[in-house]
Amino acid sequence: MSGKASVRFLAGSLWTTLATVAVLGLLSVAVAVGAFGLTASGGTTLFFVIWWTTLFAVLPFGSRSQVEAGEVSAGTEPGAPAVPALREKAIWTSLASACILVIAAAVMPLAGL
């Protein structure tokens, strides 16, 4: 199963999406705390900030507007996404954020966090 298919499978329900996001977050924070000396609260806070920043970077990927898709729903903005795929984007955001957190903890001296 490819990465894209795996993410699509995990995004199949709300609960698997939430569990995937939570597990990725906890694992990355555990690595940052154990290997690089961050505190649990500092690692969690840093992950949260990175996650929200990354979400806004990931949201436009793969989005097609209703006009581009040829399916404009009455009463909606034509530029709104036809299929937003927010669960999949939450998982991709968590994967990217986990990598960014571990890299940031390894590269930058985050003393006191």
Q: What is the pLDDT of residues 20-53, one digit of tens each?
A: 999 999 999 999 999 888 889 999 999 999 999 9
The answer to the question of residue 92 being in a domain is yes
Closest CA to 95 of 39, 14, 12, 17: 17
Domain count, the chain: 1
The answer to the question of residue 9 being in a domain is yes
Residue 111 has pLDDT above 70, yes or no: no
pLDDT of 113: 61
Summarised one tens digit per residue, pLDDT across range 66-94 is 888 888 888 888 888 888 889 999 999 99
| Domain, as residue range, for 58 | 3-107
Q: What is the pTM for the complete model shown? A: 0.85
Decide: helix, strand or coil at residue 92: helix
Residue 61 has pLDDT above 80, yes or no: yes
Instruction: Say which amino acid occupies 2.
Output: S
Residues whose CB falls within 8 Å of the CB of residue 46, separated by 6 or more in sequence, listed in order? 32, 38, 101, 104, 105, 110, 113
